[in-house]
Chain A
Amino acid sequence: DIQMTQSPSSLSASVGDRVTITCRAAQSITNYLNWYQQKPGKAPKLLISAASSLQSGVPSRFSGSGSGTDFTLTISSLQPEDLATYYCQQSDSAPPTFGQGTKLDIK
């Protein structure tokens, strides 16, 4: 299984801040990297696929970048509704695996 490691595990930021979450794969996954947002008590929601492809309806303040083993999710201007835990997931090979999550709090 390909291990996915996210950092930080948690972070607190203010409305309007630029927030960056990183995800590292234990081996190259080219661009088979997806980002999910999970709000408390809800199912995960796909935000970004193929490392940088924003899903329909997702605000443009979210963006993804990276390839190979290192990837980044950026929120350009944090909003109160972005309170959630964010997960990366590799889809390069089965079994698909997730990072441990980054819990984002709003100051």
Chain B
Amino acid sequence: QVQLQESGPGLVKPSETLSLTCTVSGDSMSSYYWSWVRQSAAKGLEWIGRVQISGFTIYRPSLRSRLTMSVDESRHQVSLELTSVTAADTAVYYCAGVSAGASDLLHFDTWGPGIFVTVSS
């Protein structure tokens, strides 16, 4: 069974770049499509974007100009970079996946435990 673990800094300064990594174990990365979802008190659960093993991405339109997601199959990692962060980007960030063979690729059948990121000086 696939397992996910997010990692990265818990504190990022305003205007800087938030960089997170999701390490995947227990199954082939190519068997899944990978998303990042964040959760804050203000906005609830919010999908950020999705990346496939091919590198193809779909991003939330409101974040597209600041967002880069990528997959490194050799390192079993999914990465997220969000530039020019503000306090509004403070949230728990989850890595989530859906089986590539699913008929519905916009839900999430596996989740990491999440990482809390605060944006503050």
Given A98-B44, A98-B45: A34 in contact with B114 (beta carbons within 8 A): no
Which of B45, B58, B60 is A44 in contact with, Cβ under 8 Å? B45
Given A32-B106, A43-B112, A49-B109: A101 in contact with B44 (beta carbons within 8 A): yes
Does B113 lie within 8 Å of A89, measured CB to CB? no
- B34: CB under 8 A from chain A? no
Which chain B residue shows the least CB distance to A33?
B107
Instruction: Report the bound CA distance from A96 to B108 in whole Å.
Output: 10
Which of A34, A42, A45, A101 is B107 in contact with, Cβ under 8 Å? A34
Does B45 lie within 8 Å of A46, measured CB to CB? no
- A27: CB under 8 A from chain B? no
Which chain A residue shows the least CB distance to B114?
A43
Which of A34, A36, A43, A92 is B113 in contact with, Cβ under 8 Å? A43
Does B45 lie within 8 Å of A91, measured CB to CB? no
Does A43 lie within 8 Å of B111, measured CB to CB? yes
Which of B47, B94, B105 is A97 in contact with, Cβ under 8 Å? B47
Please list the residues of chain B having a beta carbon within 8 angstroms of any beta carbon in chain A.
44-47, 58, 60-61, 94, 104-114
26 pairs of residues in contact across A and B, judged by CB atoms under 8 Å: A34-B107, A36-B108, A42-B113, A43-B94, A43-B112, A43-B114, A44-B45, A44-B94, A44-B108, A46-B107, A49-B104, A49-B109, A50-B104, A89-B107, A89-B108, A91-B104, A91-B106, A92-B106, A94-B58, A95-B60, A96-B107, A98-B46, A98-B47, A100-B44, A101-B44, A101-B45
| A-B interface, 3 closest residue pairs, ranked by CB to CB distance from nearest | A91-B106, A43-B111, A98-B45
Query: What 13 additional pairs, Cβ within 8 angstroms, besides A46-B109, A95-B47?
Result: A32-B104, A32-B106, A34-B108, A42-B113, A43-B112, A43-B113, A44-B94, A49-B104, A49-B107, A87-B45, A91-B104, A91-B106, A98-B47
